[in-house]
Amino acid sequence: MRLILAISVLALIGLAVWASGAMDVAGRWAAGQQREFQNAMAAAVQAVRTGTPGAWATLLGACAAYGFVHAVGPGHGKYLIGGAGLASRAGTGRMVALALASSLAQAGTAILLVYGGFLLFEMSASWAVGTAEKVLAPLSYAAILAIGGVLVWRALCTLAAAGQRADHAHHHGDAHHHHEIACGCGHAHAPTPAQAAAVRGWRDAAALIAGIAIRPCTGAIFVLVIAWRMDLHLAGVASVVTMGLGTGAFVSLVAVSAVAARGATILAAGAPRQAALALPLLQLLAGSTIALVSASMIWWSLAA
């Protein structure tokens, strides 16, 4: 009962934040801030070109701030990293590393797309932005949808296995094993804590990072195009990496909150047997939220 209560409270808090319009308020605040930092970036890039003292510091400062407030808006893997933090057993340090890695990888994609495009073939700026918005964005949502699906799948497997294990307790005299769990996710017979974790090993981490990094941030593309045209190639790379660190800082906050929320839920679940169910249930919740959000994002981005 306490477990159901704990998870319900968590879901209700999420729903309340959603319904209260708090996200709208945050989004609007972020948009206003973003505008300020965008203008600061524009001025700073021009100052770097003319060699104004201190221009580099201003540029990088504006980029870091832009990355941070821009990440308050949708995208940038907040849902995914937050969901993974909620659903996995990964600790705070690991989740922060994932958040930073995914943001930096996203910066890398932007650099690859813009500089690669300019270097290798006669790319137009509109091609870079168009590719990011029309091809890479839906691709990223699809990848994230798949990850959400995997989370749900694993959660269901763990729950099914837990149910069967409870069943086993009454039939341990049987000579043969009951391996015929329908979902066939392997080792369903005895799920270990490690198995229940959503972020399992480097493959999972890579999938998370890649899902987020596929889609470069438009702001990063703008800076890179401007820097390339102005022959400030190094400034462009430094700007975008700094922007990625700013984004990573915000996503890290989400990751840390998610880890804390998970800990609180498991603690609130009370009895060990219930606590064991907390993780797969959180996983189910996070997975289906991620899947729902990314599905609606795909719909939106393809509703052209």
Partner 1 sequence: MVKRLFGRCFGGPAVAAGILVAISPATLTAHPHIFVDGGADFLFDGEGRLAGIRVIWIYDAFASLFTLEALEISPDEAGRLTPEGVAKVVADQTTWEDGFEGDSYLWIGGEEIELGGPLAADASLDGQRLSVVFERRLAEPVPVDGLQALVKLYDPTYYFAYFTTHAPVLENAPAGCAADVEEFQPDSMLAELQTTLMALSREETPEQENVGALFADRIYLRCD
Q: Which residues bind partner 1 (CB under 8 A)?
A: 18, 21, 23-28, 31, 34-35, 38-39, 41-43, 45-46, 73-75, 124-126, 129-134, 218-219, 222, 225-226, 229-230, 292-293, 296-297, 299-304
Q: How far is the CB of 99 from partner 1 (least distance, A)?
A: 19
Q: How far is the CB of 156 from partner 1 (least distance, A)?
A: 23
Nearest-10 Cα torsion for 146, 147, 153, 156:
-140
Cα–Cα nearest to 144, from 73, 213, 218, 197: 213
Nearer to partner 1, 90 or 286 (CB): 286
Nearer to partner 1, 205 or 227 (CB): 227
Q: How far is the CB of 261 from partner 1 (least distance, A)?
A: 19
Nearer to partner 1, 265 or 301 (CB): 301
Token pair in block for residue 141: 């949502």
Nearer to partner 1, 131 or 257 (CB): 131
Token pair in block for residue 286: 């996070």
Rounded Cα distance between 251 and 253, Å, is 5
139-165 burial string, b = 16+ CB within 10 Å, else e? ebbbbbbebbbbbbebbbbbbbbbebe
Q: How far is the CB of 104 from partner 1 (least distance, A)?
A: 21
Q: How far is the CB of 123 from partner 1 (least distance, A)?
A: 11
Rounded Cα distance between 80 and 86, Å, is 10
Nearer to partner 1, 74 or 91 (CB): 74
Query: How far is CA 288 from each of CA 144, 153, 268, rounded to the nearest angstrom?
Result: 11, 10, 22
